[in-house]
Each structure stands twice: as C-alpha cells, then as structure tokens.
Amino acid sequence: MRRVAILGAGQSRFGKRTDVRLDELAWESFREAMVESGVTQRDIDSFIVSTLGGWSAEVLPAVVVGEYCGLTPKPTMRVEAACASGSAAVYQAYTMIASGHAEVVSVIGVEKMSESSTPTTVELIGRAGNYFWEFENYGMTFPAYYALYASSYMNRYGATEEDLALVAVKNHYYGSFNPKAHFQRRISVDDVMKSIYVADPLKLLDCSPITDGSATVILASEESVKKFTNEPVWIRGIGAASGTANLSKRDNFLGLEAARKAADDAYKQANIERPISKLDLVEAHDCFTIAEVMAYEDLRLVERGEGYKLIKEEQTYKGGKIPVNLSGGLKAKGHPIGATGVSMIGELSKQLLGRIGGERQADIKHGWALAHNVGGTGHYAYVTILSLDKNGDVL
C-alpha cells in the first residue's frame, strides 16, 4: 500500500445558502483547495462527490459538480454513508491512491439542505435507519433516536442535562471565532436549559442545525506530493464500521459500537496506544451533545462513563487534555451532511499546519489529529487519523 497525503483543503461558508446553487457551493470549497494545494484540474485523476441528497433537486450531483468545477471528463461517483458520507468519500479516494490506481484525487462534499422545507428535511432524516420499525408507525425524529442513547447514558452514569449542555456551550464558543460557521454566537448553559424540549432529554440547543455547505480535500500519493507541496499532511489510518439499521437490535445504548470499532482499527493502523497523549486535537461528530460525550469514550480518550466528566472539567477546550471541535463542531459550524466529514479532515490538516490561527488554533506538539464521523445513529462510523509525520508503520 502506498502512503497518501492531503495536499490542500477548502470549505465554503456554512449556513442557509439560498444565494448559491449546489454546484456554485461546491466550487467555493474546491477553489480554495486548489489555491492551497497548487493543484489544477489537469492534475486531478478522479473526483469523488459526497452527498446524501433527497432534499436537494439534483439527482446526479457528482456530474453537476464536475461540470461546474471544470472536472469533466474525469471519472467520478457519488458516495453515501449518511452523515459520514464525507469520510466515506475520503476513504474511497484514499484506497484508490494507496492501491496505485490514481495519483491525485479530489473529494468534494456538498449538501444543499435548504432546497426543501424544514418539515420535509426533518422527515427525510427521521426515515434514516429502519423505515418500517422506526419511522412509519411512530414518526420518530432523529433527535428522538439520539435521546434513546442520552436517557440510557444518563441513567447508567449519572450525567445530567447540564453536563450535556456544556458541550453546546464549548462548541458555540469556538464557532464564534470561525467566520465560516453557521452560528457565530456564544450561548450559556442557561440558554441550553431554557430551550424547548425536542426529545427529552435533548433540547433544541442540544441539536445541530440544518445547514448548506461544501468542503474539499485534495489527496495525492507520496510520489506525487512533492510536485505540489513541501507541507503535506499524511493520512495514517482510516477505520470504518457499521451498526444495525434497527436501533432495537443494539447491544447497549451507552456508546456507538461502530465508532469504537472504527477507532480501534484506525489506532492500530497508526500504532497509537494512548490516544489522549498522542493526539493534539480531535474533530468529533457532535450532531447532538450526547454524541460528543459518547465519542470521548468510543475514541478511548477516557474510560466508559467518564466522558461527561471530561467536558465538566473543561478538558476538551484548548489548553485542556484534548481539545475537541475547535471548529465549532457540527453544533455551531453546522452539519451539511455530505460535507461534514470532508470539512473535519480539511480543518484538521490546516490545524496541524498552523494555518487556522487565532483563538481556534490548537497547540501542535505531536503533529497528530483525529476526525470522528458518524452516519445515522451509529449506522456508519469512520475514524481518520492525520499526521505531519509520514514515517513509522503505515498500512
């Protein structure tokens, strides 16, 4: 297997983007990634587009994006793994390069959720999972699925709604420094506690928003990297796993087994034994506040049942044991489904290179970072590990 690096990354402004079309939105991030990497369309062998879609009008988003970005007739496909589509697309590009099938591949994640009304979008997300046993008869919404986990977690470990609220407060704090974030407003625990219940114990401000946005990363083989940059960021491990469609068949509701398995696979590839002492920062999938707390544990940053204490002690702020979601996370940066994973990985590559700057820039001591991207309610999980160091044991 060949080594694979990130040459450059880009991200559009996230939010309700009724000013641009799907392809124009994709172009915003693709253009930034081309500028950062020095890559032109000529250099790209293939492009992978990650979109969940359904709410947007385009049925074949990959070719629409390809035409607008000047990538036709390069080979392409759309990749879907629900909210983890972006990481799945990076995984696809990674394997194409690692196997020697391609030299330079662009991954473009884009989602235009505002093309449908909020009720339609909420219903489409609610159908994710197992349609008949969960949606058709009960009309479950996505927050209700995660609430099943929150109830169980709080019941077992004694965490409170205030503890979960701390995750939202942190991520909005960092979102306030991110000019591309959907929300750039700070909130307090009180704000979260006073927001209306969506699915007890989760309230409106425990939930990530419906967002439009795009993100791009451009990947290359070790042989091709030097043509473009002296500052590559290496992909040192990608772990992936799946969970049962039907939530009733999960072993427990205390963590996401798929995320745990994906993390363990990725750590093994990267030879990481104590993640908390090797990683400089983490981007975690905080679609709901409980999801970030479970991520701390699924990623083995702390033991089971200790996750909520990590945020309580502010250890996931910058300066703490392990900063998480300095981008603002899905909660404040926004969650344009197909773009989210690509945005996480692109953001971390810029973090490792010290290109974020300001309040959000992490202290890079070891040169390692991790993206944790979950699709559905633990239906898909991808964990991607990045490093400034290409040496050591690789795949």
Task: List interacting residues with other proteins (CB under 8 A).
Answer: 18-19, 31-32, 35-36, 57, 118-120, 122-123, 126, 131-141, 143-145, 147-152, 155, 196-200, 246-251, 253, 350, 355
- Give long-range contacts, CB 8 A cutoff, 24+ apart: 131-138: 133/246, 133/248, 134/246, 134/247
> And the tokens for 143?
């927050």
State the nearest-atom distance from the C-beta of 275 to other proteins, in Å. 28
Pick between residue 119 and residue 319 the one whose CB is nearest to other proteins: 119
Closer residue to other proteins in complex, CB, 12/221 = 12
SS3 88: helix
Token pair 């979601």 is at which residue?
A: 325
Q: How many angstroms separate the CA atoms of 101 and 99, rounded?
A: 6
Q: How far is the CB of 133 from other proteins (least distance, A)?
A: 6
For the CB of residue 270, give the shortest distance to other proteins in the complex, in Å: 27
Q: Of residues 182, 285, 335, 372, which has the active-site annotation?
A: 335
Q: Which residues of 381-391 are buried (b: 16+ CB within 10 A; e: fewer)?
A: bbbbbbbbebe
Which residues, in sequence order, are CB contacts of 76 under 8 Å at separation 6+?
A: 46, 47, 48, 49, 62, 63, 66
Taking the least distance from each CB to other proteins, the nearer of 160 and 271 is: 160
Q: Smallest distance from the beta carbon of 82 to other proteins, in angstroms?
A: 18
Q: Quick one: which H or E segment has residue 278?
A: helix 275-278
* Residues paired with 238 in a beta bridge: 384
Annotation says 335 is catalytic: yes
CB closer to other proteins out of 354 and 392: 354
Contact between residue 42 and residue 257 where contact means Cβ atoms under 8 Å apart? no
Read off the tokens for 109: 């994640």
Q: How far is the CB of 147 from other proteins (least distance, A)?
A: 3
Nearer Cβ to other proteins (155/277): 155
**Catalytic-labelled residue, pool 83, 182, 207, 372:** 83
Q: Give the residue numbers marked as catalytic.
A: 83, 335
